[in-house]
Every structure is written in C-alpha cells, then in structure tokens.
Amino acid sequence: MIVKRFKSNFIANALNLFRKDVAKTVSQSQSIIRHEDASNLNKFKDYKPSIISSVTYGPVQEQFLKGKHDKVIQGNKFNQDLQELIDILNLSNPKSIEYHKQLLNLNNQKFTNAIKTLSEDKLAEVLNFLLLQPQKNFEKLSIVMMNPKLNFKKIPEIEEFDLDEINEVKFKILMLRKYNLSHQPLKIMKSLKHNFHTIYPLIKDKSIPQYYERIFWYFYFRYNKDLKEKILELDDVYHSFTIWEALPNFQEVSKTILHSQKLSKFHEVFFSVVSNKSVGEIIKQNPNILNSMKKFSINHKIYANDLGSVNFAKLVNDQITPLLENPKSVQDLIEQLTEEDFKWNDKFMFLMNEIK
C-alpha cells in the first residue's frame, strides 16, 4: 500500500487511535458492522422517517440504506487510517531506514539491478521512502515506477510527488508508458486529453528532453491523426526528427516532413532516401535497418547539423543499396550528398591549414 504525504490532521487523528478511550481494533470495528447487518431487518421495521424527510430524501428504504452505507464508509475509513499508520511505522523501522538509505546511495544502474528481484510490496516501500525524501530523486522514482512488477494502481497521484514543473511533465509522460504496459488504452487517451495543454507548450519550447518527447509523440499520434498540422505548427527540424524517431510509420512521416518544411541538403536527402518506395520495402523486410537509422539519427543529433552525412551515406551504401533490385535512384541521392560533403571537408581542411 502506498503511503501518502500525510497532513498534520491525519497524523493527529491516526495517533488518537492509540488512546484508551477511543482504541478499537480492526476486528472489533468489523464485528460491530456485522452485528448491525444481522439486526438490519428489525431496525428497518421500526424505522419511521418524517413526511418532510420522505419528500426531501426519498423513499424509506433509500434513507435507511444510506444511513447504513455511511456507517460502512466510516468503518472502512477507520481500517484504512490504521493500516496507513502501520505503514508509516514500518518505514520508521531502523533496519528499513538503513536498507532504503543504502539503495538511495547507489548509482542509477546499480539501483535498477538492486530492485529487480523485489516483490511488489517491497517496491511500494522503496517508492514510499523516495517520496518522503526532502529532495526528490526523479530518476530513481521513475525507475521504481516503471518496474513491471509494480501495478500502476499503486502509484500515487502526481500531487503526492511534489515535483517541479519539468519533472511533473516527465511523470505524466512516463505514466503513458505505464498504462500501455498495463494494457489500459482508455487511461492513455484520458491522460493525453487531460494533460496535453500542460505538456505541449514545454515540448514546443524544447524544455523536455527528446527521450520524453519521443514517448509523448508515440502515444499522441497513436490516437490523433493531425501529423501534418503538428509538423507545420512546430515548424522545426528538431521536432520533425524527434517525431520521425518516435513513430513506426516512418515513410508517411518522412513524406510529410519533405512536403511541409524547408530542409538542408542533408536533411532533404535523408528523408528522400527513407521515403523511397524501394527502400521502404527493404526496411519492412529488415526492421533492424530502421532501428539502425533511428539510432544513427539519435546518436548523431543530425537535426542540428550536416556533420553526420558521410556516415549516413556509408550506412545506406552498406545496409540498403546491396538489397535493392534497382539501387540507382538511391545512389544518385547519396552521390549528391557525398559531393556536397566533400566540398565541406575541403573547406574545413583549408580553414585548419589557415589556422596552423
């Protein structure tokens, strides 16, 4: 069970449970409710509300059952408060504190490995401990959140995390992945609709790392069909490459970018190659080629410059053109690119010689 950031009035109420004059065990409270259940029939026979109550609050049965329902809620609230207090006390155990502190001091890779074998309850304990820290470690929080053993229902509401604006948006984006892993498409759609107005502005001004932006676009375009509108609206090759890297329909995205934006020679050749019909067929038969191209795009940050164009030409010549029945059209594109590159290389070498 996840322990929330408790307010002072809850702590006071919970501690009052230990006073002799109000102490009741969970089993006692349940016993009282069961006893009331057994006597419901006799009580109902004697239950006679006023005429005004009947007009205002409905039939006799509804009023009687509502009163009973309120008592059940009170009993359940008692049980919940007691269990939450027990959870706090468990986290205060010296052995627990020492164990969790050791986890907190691990680097992210070792932390990930350390929690792999933990049960769901233990993962919830670790998450509780991280949430109780004055300085939130978002990376470790996200590692615990995304552990497949931890059910999304055990992750508290975002208000419990007490995050700054950027990390709050990261949290909302990671929850899209969590819902997807839990096969909850309705929750993904609801989250997209509810959070779009807070996520999109930060994506547009590049305040969110591309890793999170890719996750967002992957789910956004799964349920929305305004690809061209968004590319035109963003009007930035940075976002265009991020969208291309995120989506499986690589040819549609490539063609949309080609026809919607002003591109450098390298970027134009890149998307021309990827949108080529023959290349598309080769990639569909060999998914690893697309993975190589996406990794290349991400690692070289080719949205920012043309410096990776020689390596891109090599990638195409090594992995794609040997598989094409008629490689001429692609080779022509690559040759334009390499000629342009060699010109830039000549200029670069000239400048280096001048500096010497």
Average pLDDT of span 262-281: 91
Q: What is the pLDDT of residues 214-236, one digit of tens each?
A: 999 999 999 999 999 999 999 99
56-88 burial string, b = 16+ CB within 10 Å, else e? eeeeeeebeeeebeeeeeebeebeeebebbebb
pTM of the predicted model as reported, rounded to 2 decimal places? 0.70
Q: pLDDT band for position 202 (50/70/90)?
A: very high
Q: pLDDT band for position 25 (50/70/90)?
A: very low
DSSP state of 154: G
- Positive or negative torsion for Cα 95, 98, 100, 103: negative
Residue 46's identity, in one-letter code, is D
Which one is predicted more confidently, 99 or 38? 99
What percent of the chain clears pLDDT 90, i.e. is strictly above it? 42
Q: What is the pLDDT of residues 302-353, one digit of tens each?
A: 898 777 788 888 889 888 988 888 888 888 888 877 665 545 444 444 344 4
Q: pLDDT band for position 148 (50/70/90)?
A: very high
Average pLDDT of span 192-200: 96
Average pLDDT of span 242-256: 95
Residue of 156, 166, 169 whose CA lies nearest to 130: 156
CA 307 to chain centre: 33
Average pLDDT of span 187-200: 96
In the prediction, which pLDDT does 56 show?
Answer: 42
Q: What is the pLDDT of residues 70-125, one digit of tens each?
A: 555 555 555 555 444 444 445 445 456 677 778 888 899 999 999 988 999 889 88
- 305 φ, ψ (degrees, to nearest 5): -165, 180
Residue of 308, 312, 247, 316 whose CA lies nearest to 276: 316
Average pLDDT, the chain: 77
Residue of 34, 42, 92 whose CA lies nearest to 64: 42
- 209 φ, ψ (degrees, to nearest 5): -55, 150
In the prediction, which pLDDT does 66 show?
Answer: 54
Distance CA 68, CA 81 (A): 20
Residues 179 and 191: beta-carbon distance below 8 Å: yes
- 207 φ, ψ (degrees, to nearest 5): -85, -15
Residues 273 and 334: beta-carbon distance below 8 Å: yes
Distance CA 333, CA 328 (A): 9
Residues 213 and 181: beta-carbon distance below 8 Å: no
Which one is predicted more confidently, 309 or 298? 298
Q: pLDDT band for position 156 (50/70/90)?
A: confident
Residues 286 and 278: beta-carbon distance below 8 Å: no
Average pLDDT of span 143-159: 90
